[in-house]
A and B are shown apart, each in its own frame.
Chain A
Amino acid sequence: MTPFFIQAFAAINAKGIYSRSRGYIPWNDEHISGPVDIQRSQVYDKPFTGFGKLNCTEKIAFGAAALALSEVPDYTGDSTGICLGTVFGCLSTDLRYAESVVAGFPSPAVFAATLPSSPVADIAILFKLKGPDRVIAGSACPGFFALENAMHILAADKADCMVVLLVNGLEAQDRHFPLIDAENRSSNYAYAFILRRNMQNQSITYTLSLDFDTKTNKSLQNRSEESYFLEMVEAMMHNKNYDCSFKCNDTSGTLVLDTVGKLYTRLA
């Protein structure tokens, strides 16, 4: 597909917070040890009383989107949409809701938050983004698919700006819940990219190209999708180009399907 442009990006993950405007901020406060503890002031300057109500996934999705959008003063809410990819949504919320039903008092607010699309609604409502929204749930690489979807939407002229997110969230205390496999599901991360169809007038922009291969590549190792996104963001933080051939495997294990392709980001 013809290259698109990344106008801004941000990430919140196990290592810290990444954004061009604030630089790389590692977690170094004993009270704020990771994405789970993120404070509103770390990601958004204006008051937002609803921040406390957000679950972990919503908080970090919101945080990454807020940081990225703060660097894009020229976006038009009416023609900006969101594509979010998530492997697990927010398992904690699902559990919390199930608990409330079993206890006899289903919680309406928690029910509304069990939808994988609830972080998208929060972001759309606060930043007034009225363009198309889509949520890709699960599969091997929802983040790459979210990027692809955003490109399709831009190519079809349904929006001129897309906020692309890859998010996974899990509350800290729920890691110890026996139903959740601590190995696979314990990482919390949110990556946000502001994708444009056309080059914008500003100092630093990256072109992004993404193509999927129809045949698998036996010489490549399977890696987690997040590992590629981390490398990509770190390269962009240092104004470096990034090229990769990626291979991700279906994590739900029902169908052995490799998703393979090539991605590059280059200084425009």
Chain B
Amino acid sequence: MSKTPIIGIGAISAAGYGAKQGYGVVKSGSDCLTPLSLFESGLKETPLCGQIKADVYKSLAADMPNRTSVLAMAAAQEAMAPVKKSNRLRLGITFATTVAGMTRSEIFYRELKKEPSHIKNAAKELAHHEPAACAGIVASKLGAQGFHTLSTACSTGLHAIGMAKRLIEHDRFDLCLAIGVDALSILTVRGFASLMLIDFTGCKPFDKRRIGISLGEGAGALLLGSEKAADQLGIRPLGFVSGWGASADCHHMTAPHPEGEGAKNAIHAALTEAGITRNEISMIAAHGTATPDNDLAEIKAMRALFDPLPPFCSMKRTLGHTLAASGAIEAVYAVCALNDNYVPATAGFEQADEAIGAAPSPGEQKQLDHILKTSFGFGGNNAAVIISKV
């Protein structure tokens, strides 16, 4: 097992375009949620969401088929900046998304119901409906030699990072870009609302009063490479992906295991791979979605594993829950935090919950050597990544 260099990072989210810029907003624990205005959701109440305004990415949008692809490209381009075209390095892409082209398909579908003759546009409108098609467009623009598309709901972003690490370890590529992206869509908003998982007034991670999530959109990209590739590019890595782990809860389709059993296993696997002990973890960038169940189970797992519990944060009130993108975007900001030696504050948190028994950091300067990032997806799919300092 090896430490895999992180050569480039890119992010676009409600906190802004650009990894450094977004991190500055996350660091201060700002609330970037706004009343949903991208589309008519059909809900009686308007939820607060992490939205990205069109003018932020307008220049990229021209020849992209849907918002998901635009956001992915925005993050990818930033992460790829260290790589000049003349390099003859083999580039792969691991692409994580759940929504993909649905942002466009759902509009087409509604119009089709009203006007059946629109069926003649189906081929064009649906050409990029599937995750692989969105990944393909980005791969094509970046001149990649191969791409893989992953979809395991909210944990997919970290899976993309883990998969990229393996592909480099097994010498399938010299560079591998792990991208996590999801755009807001009517179907997602209505779906989560039907599962009664949304807090319309804004999520409150780890807070006593928390009742649900806030949705968000965005993309995060991490360019991983072999040590040799980093040398060839003359780049000093921003950090290392030193450990990765995943597991399944075997509990329920939409609720986490109450004791966080699966989470513990994933974290344990990541620690083993990184070859570090628990007390070497300096900070936890938690999943912290603010559902009553997730936050409780997550911190229960953490407290069972770590004594004392390292400072932790959740970025979900700043960015919204960006679903498949969350692991990737939040890992990007975690890399920034690592190099800044700062534990970000957690927006939305005010009152500690005795049942959880711990409160997120108020924002603090601290020597950071290893950051643990966790994500938990629907169906009990857990993933954990350890990002280490160079």
Binding site for B on A (CB under 8 A): 1, 77-78, 81-82, 87-89, 94, 97-98, 101-102, 104, 106-108, 111-112, 114-118, 120-122, 124-125, 128-139, 145, 149, 152-153, 155-156, 158, 178-179, 212, 214, 250-255, 257, 259
Contact = CB atoms under 8 A, between A and B. Distances in A.
B194 A107 contact: yes
A68 B141 CA distance: 41
B191 A108 contact: yes
Contacts of A102: 109-110, 113
A257 B146 contact: yes
Given A98-B187, A102-B113, A111-B191, A121 B380 contact: yes
Contact of A158 (B119, B128, B269): B269
A98 B103 CA distance: 12
Nearest to B377: A117
B262 A130 contact: yes
17 contacts: A81-B246, A101-B106, A101-B186, A106-B187, A112-B253, A116-B131, A117-B378, A125-B251, A135-B152, A155-B170, A158-B245, A179-B126, A251-B132, A254-B137, A255-B137, A257-B136, A257-B139
Contacts of A252: 127-128, 130, 132-133, 136
Contacts of B237: none
Interface string B137-158: 1011000011111111100000
B122 A178 contact: yes
B137 to A, nearest CB: 5
Nearest to A125: B250
A111 to B, nearest CB: 4
Given A117-B378, A255-B137, A257-B146, A82 B131 contact: no
Contacts of B136: 139, 250, 252, 254-255, 257
Instruction: Give 7 closest A-B pairs by Cβ, nearest first.
Output: A138-B132, A121-B379, A132-B246, A254-B136, A111-B191, A152-B166, A255-B136
A257 B142 CA distance: 13
Contacts, number: 192
A98 B109 contact: yes
B254 interface: yes
A139 B153 CA distance: 18
Contacts of A128: 250
Contacts of B379: 115, 117-118, 120-121, 124-125, 133
Contact of A111 (B151, B195, B248): B195
Contacts of A89: 151
B247 A132 contact: yes
Nearest to B108: A179
B193 interface: yes
Contact of A117 (B109, B151, B186): B151
Contacts of B377: 117
Given A120-B381, A158-B246, A111 B194 contact: yes
Contacts of A115: 98, 151-153, 378-379
B163 interface: yes
Contacts of A94: 102
Interface string B224-260: 0000000000000000000001111111111000000
B248 A129 contact: yes
B246 A117 contact: no
A156 B246 CA distance: 12
A149 B244 CA distance: 14
B37 to A, nearest CB: 19
B113 to A, nearest CB: 6
B104 interface: no
Given A102-B110, A139-B135, A254-B128, A145 B246 contact: no
B265 interface: yes
A247 B378 CA distance: 34
A117 B148 contact: no
A124 B132 CA distance: 25
Contact of A131 (B106, B140, B169, B247): B247
B159 interface: yes
Interface in B25-50: 42
A149 B166 CA distance: 8
A85 to B, nearest CB: 10
B20 interface: no
B194 A134 contact: no
A106 B190 contact: yes
A103 B190 CA distance: 12
Contacts of A133: 152, 246, 248, 379, 381
Given A111-B195, A121-B378, A131-B247, A138 B262 contact: no
A134 B190 contact: no
A129 B252 CA distance: 13
A89 B245 CA distance: 25
Interface string B182-210: 00001100111111000000000000000
B110 A124 contact: no
Contacts of A152: 163, 166-167, 169-170
Contacts of A124: 248-250, 379-380
Given A131-B248, A134-B246, A255-B139, A139 B194 contact: no
A135 to B, nearest CB: 5
Given A82-B248, A257-B147, 6 more contacts: A111-B192, A115-B151, A130-B249, A133-B381, A134-B246, A149-B166
Nearest to B123: A181
Contacts of A250: 132, 136
Contact of A130 (B131, B133, B167, B247): B247
